[in-house]
Amino acid sequence: MSETERWILAYFEEHGTVDGKDPAELLDANYFELELLDSLGMVLMVVGIEDDLGVRLESPHMQDPRFCTIRGLAAIIDEERAG
């Protein structure tokens, strides 16, 4: 598990409704479908990513199909950090 994936999982555990789900099972799950965060939680997570990880997420990032899974979001973030 990457550092970015760990950051996102920790965010969901602290601010979401993970409710004892196995983190490994959540990596590829659609967190919108699982309702792990409400809309305010999503906004706050994006702000946290920008503040803590130094990546500004724009509309095209949020429309990327990978955005809705932890693994996919981590890939987007890592690509932007490398870029």
Q: Confidence class of residue 35 from pLDDT cuts 50, 70 and 90?
A: confident
CA–CA separation, 53 and 34 (whole Å): 24
Buried/exposed code over 46-59 (b: 16+ C-beta within 10 A; e: otherwise):
beebeeebebebee
Question: 3-82 in CATH: which number?
Answer: 1.10.1200.10
Q: What is the mean pLDDT of the chain?
A: 90
pLDDT of residue 14: 85
Domain layout of the chain by residue ranges: 3-82
CA–CA separation, 83 and 68 (whole Å): 21
pTM, whole model, 2 decimals?
0.89
Nearest to 17 by CA among 37, 41, 33, 45: 37
